[in-house]
Amino acid sequence: MARYTDEELEEAYEQYRRGELDFEEYKRMCDEADREEAEENYRRKAAGKHGWKPFVGVGITFKP
- Chain residues binding another protein by CB under 8 A are 6-7, 9-10, 13-14, 23, 26-27, 30-31, 33-34, 38
Burial of 12 (0-12, 13-18, 19+ CB in 10 A): buried
Looking only at Cα atoms, what is the longest distance across the chain? 61
Q: To the nearest whole angstrom, how small is the minimum distance from the Cβ of residue 47 to another protein?
A: 20
In angstroms, the CA 35 to CA 29 distance is 10
Nearest residue (CB) to another protein, 10 versus 40: 10
CB of 41 to another protein, least distance (A): 9
